[in-house]
Amino acid sequence: MKDKIQLVVRILFGLMFINSGLNKIFQYMPMPEGMTESMLNLYMAFVESGWLIPLLAVAEIIGGILFIVPKFKAFGAIIIFPVVVGILCTHLVNDRAGLPIAIVLLVINVWVIIDNKDKYMHMIK
């Protein structure tokens, strides 16, 4: 039962990041209404850098795909982890309204990492 629940959660989590990455490239979803000025300024700074948004998009798409595929879920979780930490820090500092979803994303990511800890052990030995 745990495996089926985790599969559904991984699919939803992965699809969310794939969608987010594709949106960064193709911009098919409008910017959310009511963004705080600090969040808007931060996003514009990311866009202005010229490289950060494409890097995030690629990490989100690749990480999201790998997160869904059972054989590569451990690798996908590691790729997505810095993105999730960035989301959490952004909402801690700039807009606390998004903090609950950021915490949920972190919990899901950490759950998959802990569930696959045996696959990481050779890296720290």
Is residue 4 scored above 90 in pLDDT? yes
Contact 81, 113 (CB under 8 A): yes
pLDDT per position as a tens digit, 85-109: 999 999 999 989 999 999 999 999 9
pTM of the model: 0.94
Mean pLDDT for the chain? 95
Is residue 123 scored above 90 in pLDDT? no
pLDDT per position as a tens digit, 51-65: 999 999 999 999 999
Between 117-124 and 99-115, two packed helices, what is the crossing angle to 10 degrees? 80
Sign of the C-alpha dihedral computed for residues 59, 60, 61 and 63 taken in this order: positive
